[in-house]
Amino acid sequence: MWRRYQQFGATRDRPRSGRPRVTSIRQDTYTRVVHLRERLRTASLAARSTPGLRRISPRTVRDRLREQGIRPRRPVLQQRHRVARFGWCRRHIHIQTQQDWARILFTDESRFHLDSSDGRSRVYRRVGERFHHSCVIERCLFGGGSVMVWVGISSRGRTALVVADGTLTGIR
């Protein structure tokens, strides 16, 4: 450090060679503000809509957001879903042996929408904003065409995948 100070008059690093930044400070600010206003906006959509002389890639958008401490995360479950999961855990806390788990069949049904997103969206947020109202997604359970499937798993294996026509109810 002392030698650097004597030679250059400062202790800061000298400029290094490397790829120059594609975006300006103004574009970085624009990207950050847009993603904080529209949390569900994808990086590819932001890359296409960012103003400037040069087009930027979705990777550049993700890198700039990461520099700002904004990362894509899965949206948080609603309060009622968290309460339901916690209730299930409390009711089944006594299950401890392998024989007890062998008697349990976990089942789930999933709807795959044919004309819209399948729900695997990401929310761009900063640390500490997990339960912020703009980072929680309300699910829409109706809409265009879809395919409903059902499957179950247990300690012994899985059931066959069942494609259900219409609405899947407890009786069906």
Is residue 169 in some structural domain?
Answer: no
Q: Based on the domain organization, do 91 and 132 belong to the same domain?
A: yes
Q: What is the pLDDT of residue 12?
A: 77
Q: Based on the domain organization, do 93 and 152 belong to the same domain?
A: yes
Q: Based on the domain organization, do 124 and 146 belong to the same domain?
A: yes
Is residue 111 in some structural domain?
Answer: yes
Q: Write out pLDDT tens, residues 1-30.
A: 888 888 888 877 767 777 888 898 999 999
Q: Based on the domain organization, do 95 and 120 belong to the same domain?
A: yes
Q: Write out pLDDT tens, residues 40-75.
A: 888 888 898 888 878 899 999 999 999 999 988 877
Tally of structural domains, the chain: 2
Is residue 140 in some structural domain?
Answer: yes
What domain range includes position 59?
Answer: 2-68
Is residue 153 in some structural domain?
Answer: yes
Rg (CA), the chain: 25
Q: Is the dihedral of CA 85, 86, 88, 93 positive or negative?
A: positive
Burial of 46 (0-12, 13-18, 19+ CB in 10 A): buried
Q: Write out pLDDT tens, residues 101-143.
A: 888 888 888 877 665 565 566 777 888 887 777 777 665 555 5
